[in-house]
Structure formats: structure tokens, C-alpha cells
Amino acid sequence: MGVWCCINCPWKMRPSATPRDLSKQYEKRCSLCDRKLIYLTCEAKAITVISPSTFTYTHQGKHYHPQPPGGKLLPQQYEQAAFLIQHNPNALPQQLRVGTSIAIPGSLSTGQSIAHIAP
């Protein structure tokens, strides 16, 4: 499937699964900076085999594009997001997206946006 990426900032969007809906996404713009999006395609394939007693999912190929948003956080991403939220108890979601004054362990800078952890 791939991923939609902003040409100006780190914002990403998961592509639609149907061709009709995917074609509509070409008209969309970045939700953060209102710039143009580019579509990075992916040649990797997911194959699902369903039988009366089993459900098998296999993956073939490699991904050469950024990870699309959504889905489950990786353990390290979860820890970083939890740290930011716990140390900014009064911050609203938008404030966490803009950035905070607290540095995340393992990060060299303050002002870390939660969007950089889990876009």
C-alpha cells in the first residue's frame, strides 16, 4: 500500500485500501502545514489464506517507505509517549503535538513533539 507523506513536515497518512478512495486522497493536503502530499508506493504484499479451520497471514517483500500512522505503538514508542504524557499532566493533545519543554530519555533535545514518536 505505502504511505502519504507531506513534502514539508513529518506528517504522514495511511492510504485508502480501495482504488476509488485512494484516487480521492490525491486531492488532500497536509493537516499540519497545508502543503502538498506525495504518495510513496510499496511493493510488499500481505497474503491471507482462510480455510474452515485456520486463518494464515504471510508477508512477502520489504518496506522502503516510512511507517504509516496508526496501528499499535512499538514498545519504545509507547514508553516515550507515556513519559511525555505523565510529565505533562495538564497538556492538551494539541500541546503534546506542538512540543513540550521536557526532554524524553534517550533524546538529546527538549521540545519533543508526540507526533515525532507516534505520527
Backbone angles phi, psi at 64, to 5 degrees: -115, 25
Residue 91, SS3 per DSSP? coil
Residue 47, C-alpha cell as written in the block? 497474503
Q: Are strands 55-60 and 45-50 parallel, antiparallel or unpaired?
A: antiparallel
Confidence (pTM): 0.51
Q: Which of 87, 81, 46 is nearest to 63 (CA)?
A: 46
| DSSP code of residue 107 | -
pLDDT at 40: 92
Model confidence pLDDT, tens digit, residues 23-62:
889 999 998 899 999 999 888 887 888 888 877 777 788 8
